[in-house]
């Protein structure tokens, strides 16, 4: 698959997640089990937020954390669920793309390593062939020097 096709596919996935998240958010407001889940998440998030704020801005008075009303809790919880969905999908796409790029880079490095190994073995073969030819040339030179020179015939 081409890189452009993959990039366009990931962009499409990212664009589709928003409407799906909005549908998820709407369904969370309509179904009882989703409502309970949203209320629980929102109340926990509200308590954690209130505790964090009270620790960051200390006062001499202890602040009592009142729970959110159900409507606000469902809204906050549904928003949290939809955002978690969008983050999960887009995060998965980013992780997948990173893994794909890493595998591509590893394959490229292995190919370069194989090419270097092949070229090194070729160089060694050429060196040994050159050494053999140098030995043959030396032997031929020695043989040529052993041949007595021809005497020219007198005319």
Q: Is the pLDDT of residue 155 over 70?
A: no
Question: Model confidence over 13-35: pLDDT tens digits?
Answer: 777 887 887 887 787 778 888 88
Question: Model confidence over 103-120: pLDDT tens digits?
Answer: 999 999 999 999 999 999
**Angle made by CA atoms 94, 15, 6, in degrees to the nearest 5:** 50
Question: Model confidence over 69-101: pLDDT tens digits?
Answer: 888 888 888 888 888 888 888 888 888 888 988
Contact 42, 73 (CB under 8 A): yes
Buried b (16+ CB within 10 A) or exposed e, 58-77: eeeeeeeeeebeeeebbbbb
3-state secondary structure of 121: helix
Contact 28, 34 (CB under 8 A): yes
CA distance 69 to 54: 21
CA distance 118 to 100: 27
């Amino acid at each position: 698959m081409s890189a452009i096709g993959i990039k366009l596919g990931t962009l499409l996935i990212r664009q589709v997640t928003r409407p799906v998240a909005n549908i998820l958010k709407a369904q969370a407001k309509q179904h009882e089990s989703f409502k309970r889940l949203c209320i629980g998440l929102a109340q926990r998030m509200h308590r954690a937020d209130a505790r964090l704020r009270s620790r960051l801005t200390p006062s001499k008075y202890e602040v009592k954390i009142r729970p959110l009303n159900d409507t606000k809790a469902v809204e906050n919880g549904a928003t949290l669920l939809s955002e978690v969905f969008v983050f999960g999908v887009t995060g998965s796409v980013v992780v997948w793309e990173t893994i794909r790029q890493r595998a591509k880079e590893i394959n490229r490095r292995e190919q370069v390593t194989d090419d270097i190994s092949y070229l090194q073995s070729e160089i060694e073969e050429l060196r040994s062939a050159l050494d053999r030819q140098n030995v043959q040339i030396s032997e031929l030179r020695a043989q040529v020097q052993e041949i007595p020179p021809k005497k020219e015939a007198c005319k």
